[in-house]
Amino acid sequence: MQELKRIINYKRIILLLIVVTANIVFFLYGNKPVRDEDILNKENVAHEAYIENYHEEVNSIIDNADKLKKYSIFNKAGSFSFANILQTAKDFDRVKNVVLPEDEYKGVQVFTAYYYQYCFTMLVMMFVIYDMFVQRDNGMWSITYSCSNGRTLYAVKQTGIITVAGISTHTLIYWSTFVTAMVQRGGFKDLRNPVQTIEAFAKFTYPWSKIKYVAVLYLMSMMCIVALCIIIWGVFVMFRNRVYALVTMLIFAAVEQFIYSHIDIHSVWNGLHYINIIN
CB 97 within 8 A of CB 195: no
What count of Cα atoms within 13 Å lies in the side-chain half-sphere of residue 162? 24
Compute the distance between CA of residue 274 and CA of residue 279 in angstroms, rounded to an integer: 6
CB 128 within 8 A of CB 240: no
Give me the pLDDT at residue 147, please.
Answer: 55
Residue 145 has pLDDT above 80, yes or no: no
**Residue 51 burial (CB < 10 Å; 0-12/13-18/19+)?**
middle
Q: How confident is the model at residue 256 (pLDDT cuts 50, 70, 90)?
A: confident
Q: How confident is the model at residue 128 (pLDDT cuts 50, 70, 90)?
A: confident
DSSP-derived secondary structure letter, 198 = S
DSSP 228-239: HHHHHHHHHHHH
Compute the distance between CA of residue 16 and CA of residue 2 in angstroms, rounded to an integer: 20
Of the spans 89-93, 97-101, 128-132, which averages the highest pLDDT? 97-101
